[in-house]
Amino acid sequence: MVSTMTLSEENAPTRLPFAFFIALASALAFTIGFALQVPTVASGEPSTLLLPWAPSLGVDLAFRLDGLGLLFALLISFIGVLVILYAAAYLRRHRDLGRLQLLLLAFMLSMLGLVTADNVILLFVFWELTTVTSFLLVGFDHEKPEARRSALQALLITGAGGLALLVGLVLLAETAGSYLLSEILTKGTAITADPLYLPILGLVLIGAFTKSAQFPFHFWLPNAMAAPTPVSAYLHSATMVKAGIYLMARLQPSLGGTDVWFYTLTIAGAVTALWSSMMALRQSDLKLMLAWTTVMALGTLTMFLGSDMRIAVLAAMTFLIVHAFYKCALFLVIGNVDHGTGTRDIDRLGGLAAAMPMTAIIAVLAALSMAGFPPFLGFIGKELKYEGALAIAEEPYLIAAAAVAANAMMVAVAMAIVIRVFLKRRPSETQTLPRSPHEASAMMWIGPLLLAAGGLATGLSPQLISKALIEPAITGVLLEETTVKLSLWHGLNLPLLLSVVTVTIGAFLFWQAERVRTGLDALVAVLPTTGDRSFDAIMETVQRVSTFVTNRLQTGALGHYLTVIFIVIVVGGNLSLYASGLSIDLDQVTPAPFIAWIVTGIMILATGVIVVSTSRLLAICALGLVGIGVALIFLMFGAIDVAITQLMVETLFVVLIAIVLLRLPGFAGNAHPGRLGAVRDAVIAIGAGLVVALITIGVALTPIDLEITRFFEQASYPEAYGRNIVNVILVDFRALDTLGEVAVVATAALAVIALLKVRPPSRSVGGSR
Amino acid sequence: MNSLILRTISRFLVGLMLLFSIFLLLRGHNEPGGGFIGGLVAAAGIIVYGIADGPAAVRSILRVDPRAIAMVGLLAAIVAGLIAALAGAPFLTGLWTFIGATPGDKGLAIGTPLLFDIGVYLVVVGGVLGMVVALEEEV
């Protein structure tokens, strides 16, 4: 796959956008700030911050920084600094670099809020903010259809998971009796014994699994590789996808410790890890390869969080750090390769070590940690995984086998990246690369070098992180004090033997890479469906159903709309008459004066004219006559203001409608409903008229409480200095209502004018999905 | 519509109806009338002129965009409310002053409800004319 991304040129004289400095300064400040918190938190004293937001709803800006949150916060802000630096060089000449930097910053802030929130609603708000910012980041190259599709897919899947999570969190908080996470976590046994436990668990896990790309929601993550490489490195390896992991680790004390929890997480995690490491082996795009190994890492983390044993949690927390270091470094290495050669296709690359020495060194360091060779932190992580897997009481061999298989495939991937891309000669020297390979600028290798070297330094002296970061993190998960001793040499034991087995299988898989790939391709081809294809099928169905429903409801024919409206009036009016139990006694109706009969007669005649007329002008005039008749009746009964208003509105209505209708062709031959349709329309019209007449008579017969009227009559002059009650009500007693109404009049007028003035676009806006 | 009679009559009608609309607006507090009715009468008068002479003529005698008239009206109504709020009373409370008041007679009462009603008048005039003129221009 040839990268089509707009890549920057070296030494471009363009100035860095201002946003870059804001983002970098903020990320640095957060890194230093969180680093300063390490001693406090390590001593077992979480930092808290409480700002009231909506206390009546139990929602406050409550933040709490404990060991688990601090580990995540440090990873997020530190890697944030490196990625922001890297992106500035990688997309140096991209016109939207400033937007990218601000989005990265916004995303970082959302993530930091997520891992420090102590209120479940606040946590959800930040959760959704990461979804929204990641949507914008994945769709950064929004002119490309596949970027838009991937962004939408990520948004829909994680957004749907977010909704489930919201319900789950609210149920959880209601069950626990508190919206504060720190309080919820102390009520573990009460929650797992509650009948709502299973729904809560299911909903929360849907949220976590969608976010952290667990089977069967795993497919959006590889697709999200449409994002620029720095974004992938940040969101899809180090941070966002870990949000689900964070949630599961965080809620372990209140939701974990049950069989359902254990088997759901272990099986989903194991399936995800195995499937995705197989998928990683069959990719030829380096970035996709890494994306699938990320899914594998998330599966492994989920698998270990299923158990509440100390050693399993220790394995998960250590691997979290290991993975963040080597995966982010490797993503950035791939970015450098893409940048320096113009392609990320492993089949076209080779022998880059000579042209890109720094990048090659970083790749070797990171890949060794990924493959789990001593003396890297990855080795310690892998040993801990095996030790943890074997210690889990329920299914030790299944988990250990899954871990060995997945790790062996990681070894194969690591070997492929180092040997095929950097050491072995190019497969065909005749075929030229899109660019002649060249080393990336310092700004693009400092970040990954720091990360890769970090994997080596922490491997050589693991006490750097064990006391300060890992111990408090485990305390944060399990809510109990622990001491951790990490070391490279554990003695000759079963985990070490498994490590040897892992490397052997990995090397074999790498040696037989072609056959493995062919075999996996055949496997995928016989699968009835994949997550991606199912997603497309669901989306198509949704669109088809909504198109069907919309076409039925929005026919575009005014006649249909009116028919529906009047049928609703007939049915609804009858129902409400029936429900109100209004009895209409026609004997009580006061006979109308003679003149009212004359006016009504004229109105009925005019209505008849409207129905039978074939001339628009005649129909409009007759309609105006009906309106004027209504105004006369108002006048007869003393409602002068209403009568004048009615008269004026009627006049304007005739003018407006005449302007439009007189320019249309005549009624004749213009979609006449036919004899049957005419009968149907007549029935609906007469029904609507009868219902409205009955309601009017019923209302007129109901005795009215005149208290309000009396108040206005008495208060109008002494308090508001006006004798016209109607006007005094409008401009004084109920002036706020009038203000709202004139605002509506003004807005409606603006909308009508805008609709009338809009021109059909000269070119159609294409590419909508 | 090209009618000499209508064109000639409309010149007189528009003046009379505008005068009448202001009369309705001002007397509205005590007699039938008010900003809404006054605004409708004024709009109807100008529309008669528009039917005779066309939308361009309406725009030229208005001098400003009808939308601006509506927005000024809305602003006047809000200001009428804010005056009370600034004076420490609840938003939209009617505040009055009496010109030429003698013991036993309140004289001429002028208050924020009048400004409010003028706002209503202008919103109605601007809104209705804006829609009708736009419709006449587009159809």
Quick check: B37 and A746 CB within 8 A? Answer: no
Name the band, by pLDDT with cuts 50, 70 and 90, for residue A207: very high
Quote ipTM for the complex. Answer: 0.92
Size of interface A-B (CB pairs under 8 A): 145
Taking any CB pair shorter than 8 Å as contact, residues of chain A touching chain B are: 640-641, 644-645, 648-649, 651-652, 655-656, 659-660, 663, 720-724, 726-728, 730-732, 735-736, 738-739, 742-743, 745-746, 748-750, 752-753, 756-757
pTM of the prediction?
0.70
Helix or strand (DSSP H, E) at A61: strand A59-65
B45 touches chain A (CB under 8 A): no
Quick check: B36 and A655 CB within 8 A? Answer: no
State residue B66's pLDDT score. Answer: 93
Residue A81 has pLDDT above 70, yes or no: yes
Sequence-distant (6+) residues with CB within 8 A of A667 are A613, A614, A615, A616, A619
Quick check: B47 and A652 CB within 8 A? Answer: yes
B111 touches chain A (CB under 8 A): yes
Tens-place pLDDT, residues A271-316:
999 988 888 888 888 888 888 999 999 999 998 888 888 888 888 8
State residue A420's pLDDT score. Answer: 85
Quick check: A723 and B31 CB within 8 A? Answer: yes
Q: For the residues A374-390, what does the mean pLDDT come to?
A: 85
B109 touches chain A (CB under 8 A): yes
Tens-place pLDDT, residues A441-467:
888 888 889 988 888 888 888 888 888
**Residue that wins the pLDDT comparison between A668 and A579:** A579
State residue A667's pLDDT score. Answer: 57
Name the band, by pLDDT with cuts 50, 70 and 90, for residue A666: low
In chain B, the residue whose alpha carbon lies closest to the alpha carbon of A749 is: B127
Residue A356 has pLDDT above 70, yes or no: yes
Distance CA A730, CA B33 (A): 11
Least-confidence region, from A370-384, A534-548, A600-614, B8-22: A370-384
Tell me the average pLDDT of chain A.
Answer: 85
Paired sense of beta strands A59-65 and B96-99, if any: unpaired
Q: How many angstroms separate the CA of residue B101 from the nearest CA in chain A? A: 13
Amino acid in position A100:
L
**Coil, helix or strand at residue A6:** coil
Residue A670 has pLDDT above 70, yes or no: no
State residue A11's pLDDT score. Answer: 45
B91 touches chain A (CB under 8 A): yes
- pLDDT means per 10 residues, chain B with 139 residues, are 84 92 90 90 91 89 93 94 86 83 77 92 94 85
Tens-place pLDDT, residues A389-441:
888 767 778 888 888 888 888 888 888 888 888 888 777 665 677 777 878 88
Quick check: B117 and A727 CB within 8 A? Answer: yes
b/e burial code for range B20-44 (CB count within 10 A of at least 16 → b): ebeebbbebbbbbbbbbbbbbbbbb
Distance CA B139, CA B136 (A): 6
Residue A3 has pLDDT above 60, yes or no: no
Tens-place pLDDT, residues A229-265:
888 888 877 788 889 999 999 998 888 888 899 999 9
**Residue that wins the pLDDT comparison between A758 and A255:** A255
Residue A747 to residues A603, B40, B131, B134: CA-CA distances in angstroms? 33, 17, 11, 15
Quick check: A721 and B33 CB within 8 A? Answer: no
Quick check: A746 and B41 CB within 8 A? Answer: no
State residue A503's pLDDT score. Answer: 87
State residue A762's pLDDT score. Answer: 53
Distance CA A302, CA A168 (A): 19
In chain B, the residue whose alpha carbon lies closest to the alpha carbon of A641 is: B32
**Coil, helix or strand at residue A438:** coil
Q: Do B139 and B86 contact (CB within 8 A), yes or no?
A: no
Q: For the residues A491-496, what does the mean pLDDT come to?
A: 79
State residue A18's pLDDT score. Answer: 86
Name the band, by pLDDT with cuts 50, 70 and 90, for residue A672: low
Tens-place pLDDT, residues A391-400:
876 777 888 8
B14 touches chain A (CB under 8 A): no
Q: How many angstroms separate the CA of residue B75 from the nearest CA in chain A? A: 10
B43 touches chain A (CB under 8 A): yes
Tens-place pLDDT, residues A105-148:
999 999 999 999 999 999 999 999 999 999 999 889 888 888 88
Least-confidence region, from A67-81, A353-367, A515-529: A515-529
Quick check: B73 and A752 CB within 8 A? Answer: no
State residue A625's pLDDT score. Answer: 92
DSSP A225-248: GGS-HHHHHIIIIISTTHHHHHHH
Say how far residue A286 (Cα) sits from the centre of its chain: 27
Helix or strand (DSSP H, E) at B71: helix B66-86
B46 touches chain A (CB under 8 A): no
Q: Supply the DSSP symbol for A350.
A: -
Quick check: A730 and B34 CB within 8 A? Answer: yes
Helix or strand (DSSP H, E) at B109: strand B108-111
Residue A456 to residues A60, A109, A380, A417, A453: CA-CA distances in angstroms? 42, 29, 11, 18, 5
Residue A13 has pLDDT above 60, yes or no: no
**Residue that wins the pLDDT comparison between A6 and A219:** A219
3-state secondary structure A678-712: HHHHHHHHHHHHHHHHHHHHHHHHCCCCCHHHHHH
In chain A, the residue whose alpha carbon lies closest to the alpha carbon of B77 is: A739
Identify the CA nearest to A677 among candidates A556, A555, A553, A562.
A562
Residue A9 has pLDDT above 60, yes or no: no
Pick from B111, B114, B130: CB nearest A753: B130
Cβ contacts of B75 on chain A, cutoff 8 Å: none
Q: How many angstroms separate the CA of residue A98 from the nearest CA in chain B? A: 38
Q: For the residues A693-703, what does the mean pLDDT come to?
A: 84
Cβ contacts of A655 on chain B, cutoff 8 Å: 44, 47, 51, 132
